[in-house]
Amino acid sequence: MSEDQVLLKVDGLVKHFPVLQGVFKRQVGVVHAVDGITFDIYRGETFGLVGESGCGKSTAGRTILQLYRPTAGHVYFDGMDLAKLSGESLRRLRRRMQMIFQDPYASLNPRMTIGEIIGEPLMVHGITKSKHDQEMRVKELLDVVRLSSSFVDRYPHEFSGGQRQRIGVARALSLNPELIVCDEPISALDVSIQAQVINLLEDLQEQFELTYLFIAHDLSMVRHISKRVAVMYLGVIVELAEVQELFAKPLHPYTQALLSAVPVPDPVIEQSRQRLILEGDVPSPVNPPSGCRFRTRCPIAIEICAQIQPEWRQISSGHWVACHRVEST
């Protein structure tokens, strides 16, 4: 795709958190949550960002939306550098970028009705001109996410997890955004409900021409919904490719390990196939390893892996990887 089709451009994004200790909150270290990630997302695309818990993918999503201010790097939305915006200018742009949170139980205010929760962004941004317009818009949004408009006066505790997540989706849609960051939107739901929410997101994407950053650790769902996927480990992206390419030809040892853990639906193949089991624990983001961050768990690590951080290289068309052991084609 051409450069003018890029909606979101992330360039060398860094987010560090200070580690404070004692009564006087003396800084004793830094959490390297996100450490220099780069990727583009095209208009109308679903871009998957995957990795183990604690790899920094959710922090990346929040930093992209400026809920956390970046330590370094840039985020460009429709050509605008978000780091240069603040106050009212940033608030206006935020109407075009929304988020669906992981936990539908924690993300909805239990003291507000569903109508108030969905209608709050409309009121804050002055979208509707009257109380009647706001009520009509809320009912319209409930219908869009396939919930009854009679739910407006109910409270979050009266709904199931899947229904609550649909309410969260309706709230995200209320400002007619172009980009939605989906932060593990199905991980807290029953398996039977997950597919329904994914199908809803796909239908809404087609209906409203939405662009998604889909953050998850479930590779099977990412494979279903995403066009391209970036694999993240300990604050850095180690591989990026179109979803079919990544699943058919994973190049980075970490990607290979993640894919080997995904069950195969054929019981004969599942029983006979070899799995790549990672040894050891994920290192602390306060003190990440030198060189390649994956080297302490990598089955093919060599001496250079501990000395030099691998270069981010394009191995084939659209397939990027950061690994000393991968040969260019």
> In angstroms, rounded to a whole number, what is the distance separating the alpha carbons of residues 254 and 237?
11
**Mean of pLDDT over the chain:** 89
The whole-number pLDDT of residue 123 equals 85
Residue 124 burial (CB count, 10 A): 11
pLDDT at residue 266 in the model: 58
pLDDT at 3: 72
Question: Which residue reads 């950053």 in tokens?
Answer: 213
Higher pLDDT, 2 or 302: 302
pLDDT for the residue 265: 64
The pLDDT, as a whole number, for residue 83 is 85
Residue 323 pLDDT greater than 90, yes or no: yes
Beta-carbon contacts of residue 11 (< 8 Å; ≥ 6 apart) = 38, 73, 74, 75, 76
Q: What pLDDT is attached to residue 33? A: 95
pLDDT surpassing 60 at residue 140? yes
Give the tens place of pLDDT for each residue, 177-201: 999 999 998 887 888 888 899 999 9
Q: Name the percent of the chain lying above pLDDT 70.
A: 95
| More confident call, 295 vs 127 | 295
Whether the predicted pLDDT of 128 surpasses 90: no
**Among residues of the chain, what percentage have pLDDT more than 90?**
64
pLDDT at 192: 82
Segment 86-111 shows an average pLDDT of 86
Give a three-class secondary structure readout of 150-199. Answer: HHHHCCHHHCCHHHHHHHHHHHHHCCCCCEEEEECCCCCCCHHHHHHHHH
For residue 329, pLDDT over 60 is answered with no
Judged against a pLDDT cut of 70, whether residue 2 lies above it is answered with no
The stretch 109-116 carries a mean pLDDT of 91
pLDDT single digits (tens) 239-267: 999 999 999 999 999 999 998 877 666 56
Q: Would you state the pLDDT for residue 91?
A: 84
> pLDDT category, 269, cuts 50, 70, 90?
low
- 256, with CB counted inside 10 A (0-12, 13-18, 19+), is middle
Higher pLDDT, 87 or 253: 253
Confidence of residue 270 (pLDDT cuts 50, 70, 90): low
Angle value at C-alpha 275, between 269 and 279, nearest 5 degrees: 165
pLDDT computed for residue 224 by the predictor = 87
Extract long-range pairs of 70-73: CB within 8 Å, 24+ residues apart.
70/13, 70/14, 70/15, 71/14, 71/15, 71/16, 72/12, 72/13, 72/14, 72/36, 73/10, 73/11, 73/12, 73/13, 73/14, 73/36, 73/37
DSSP letters along 239-265, please? Answer: EEEEHHHHHHS--SHHHHHHHHTSPPS
Q: pTM to 2 decimals?
A: 0.91
pLDDT, tens digit (0-9, with 9 covering 90-100), for 5-61:
999 999 999 999 999 888 888 888 899 999 999 999 999 999 999 998 889 999 999
The fold of 3-96+177-282 is Rossmann fold (3.40.50)
Domain extent listing, the chain:
3-96+177-282, 110-176
Q: What is the mean pLDDT of residues 224-252?
A: 95
Q: What is the pLDDT of residue 214?
A: 96
Q: What was the pLDDT predicted at 54?
A: 86
pLDDT band at 287 (very low <50, low <70, confident <90, very high): very high
pLDDT of 165 above 80? yes
